[in-house]
Amino acid sequence: MKVVYHRNVAEYLNELVDILYDKEYFGFKEFAYDYVDWIFEQIELSIHRKVKKQAPRHFEKYSQGLSYVVYKRNSNTSWYVFFLKQEDTYLIFYIGNNHNCAQYF
């Protein structure tokens, strides 16, 4: 299994460290890095085992025919990973959380 991230997704996850630290979700930048690493690790280790669902139409702006899986980080935050599967490769087109995605479900 291989996971490939769209450039915009990779950029967002790199920026997420600064966002989390600047908005004081974490008191130390190292903890923000750990949080983002957790997202990468969950995707890399388990996307092929998660139950996938068809993405709502709103997310077609990222690509047609997307599926998504959900990773629950804690009681307040779930991460939605939108992707296409081509043979044994998962192409990740968008990642968002319940704070910016939930209204579209």
Long-range contacts of 44-48 (CB under 8 A, 24+ apart): 44/3, 47/1, 47/3, 47/81, 47/83, 47/90, 48/1, 48/90
Task: Convert the pLDDT of each residue in 11-50 to its tens digit.
Answer: 999 999 999 999 999 999 999 999 999 999 999 999 999 9
Q: Averaged over 73-94, what is the pLDDT?
A: 96
Q: Averaged over 82-99, what is the pLDDT?
A: 97
What value does the mean pLDDT of the chain take? Answer: 96
Given this structure, which CATH class describes domain 2-104?
alpha beta
Tally of CB atoms within 10 A around 30: 11
Q: Averaged over 45-60, what is the pLDDT?
A: 97
pLDDT of residue 96: 97
CA distances from 4 to 52, 57, 75, 77, 83 (A): 17, 22, 28, 24, 9
Q: Averaged over 95-105, what is the pLDDT?
A: 94
Q: Sign of the CA dihedral 74, 95, 31, 89? A: positive
Domain ranges of the chain: 2-104
